[in-house]
Amino acid sequence: MSVFGEPSEQQRRVWRVRDLVRSLAVEWFAATEVREPVGDTAITRPVLADPLAGLRAAVLSRWVAAGQVRDYALDARGAGRSWAEVASVLGFDDHDAPGVVAFEHVAERGGRTGPRWDRVWWRCASCGQRVADTGPYSSHPSEVETGHAETCARHAADVAAWAERTGWGQ
Ligand SMILES: [Zn+2]
């Protein structure tokens, strides 16, 4: 990172999140902000007098964000997005089967006995039903998604697209 030149959009986002975590440390853990110089320059930046308060805010933010990764991924599936699209946002495009990796990431149940994952549930935005999703291990929509209403337009379109793609009967 240079002091000079325009920061990229990604850098601005990183700074924004850092600012939020620091302000949460002030709000939640009574941390105080002090200013320290940036390198050998006369420029200063705000830092926390007690770094442990920053650590607390960062750990709590990470825990909440991890829950939101799961919630938004499931909402995206409910809204009609594919596991491949979810995988792309999660940064899994380089894997052999990005959709499967995304499903396993979202469905993972750390520390529980039994299978590590088997299915997730989301609310279909098309038919309003709660759908069980066993992951993109099979190509037929009815084998991986159960619970759509019989009249669900999205599911009917998915099945029709599958028939078109495979050349098989529905
Ligand atoms: Zn549906």
Instruction: Give me the pLDDT at residue 168, please.
Output: 82
pLDDT at 31 over 80: yes
Expressed in angstroms and rounded, the spacing between residue 80 Cα and the centre of ligand 1 is 9
Q: What is the 126 CA–ligand 1 centroid distance (Å)?
A: 5
Instruction: Determine the average pLDDT of the residues in 9-37.
Output: 95
Q: How far is CA 105 from CA 26, 98, 140, 152, in A?
A: 33, 10, 22, 27
Q: Which residue has the higher pLDDT, 136 or 115?
A: 136
Question: Does residue 10 register a pLDDT over 80?
Answer: yes
Residues with CB under 5 A from ligand 1 (ion): 124, 126-127, 148, 152, 155
pLDDT at position 113 is 54
Determine the pLDDT at residue 139: 83
- Residue 77 is predicted with a pLDDT of 97
85 token code pair: 């699209």
Cα angle 147, 151, 157 (rounded to 5 degrees) comes to 90
Calculate how far, in angstroms, residue 164's C-alpha sits from the geometric centre of ligand 1: 20
Residue 86 Cα to ligand 1 middle (Å) = 18
What's the CA-to-centroid distance between 170 and ligand 1, angstroms? Answer: 17
Q: pLDDT (tens digit, 9 = 90+) per residue, 138-163?
A: 889 999 999 999 999 999 999 999 99
Mean pLDDT value across residues 92-120: 81
Mean pLDDT over all residues of the chain? 91
Give the Å distance between the CA of 166 and the centre of ligand 1. Answer: 22
What is the Å distance from ligand 1's center to 143 Cα? 14
Mean pLDDT of all residues in 9-35: 95
- Distance (Å) from CA 21 to ligand 1 centroid: 38
By DSSP bridging, strand 130-133 and strand 120-123 are antiparallel
Interval 46-71: pLDDT, tens: 999 999 999 999 999 999 999 999 99
